[in-house]
Amino acid sequence: MGIEVGGFLGLVLLILIVYAVIKTVQSSAGTGSKVLWIVLLLLLPVVGFILWLLLGPKR
């Protein structure tokens, strides 16, 4: 029982995850923190993106 995202919502989610990964790589956070956020975003896309928005590395 998992959440399936397909079609237009899947495309939107993919774009948001790619945006989050790029912004994480460009941030001034430490390497370990960046790797942790990227792994979280890739393994748990929906939850990871929400957590990234709320708690992720800032500028």
What confidence score (pLDDT) does residue 59 get?
60
What confidence score (pLDDT) does residue 1 get?
55
What confidence score (pLDDT) does residue 10 get?
85
| Nearest in space to 52 (alpha carbons), one of 19, 15, 7 | 19
pLDDT in tens, 4-57: 667 888 888 899 999 999 999 999 889 999 999 999 999 998 899 999 999 987
| Nearest in space to 54 (alpha carbons), one of 37, 42, 30, 39 | 37
Domain boundaries in the chain?
13-55
* 3-state percent helix, strand, coil for the chain, nearest multiple of 5: 75, 0, 25
Q: What's the CA gap between 47 and 22, in Å, rounded?
A: 18
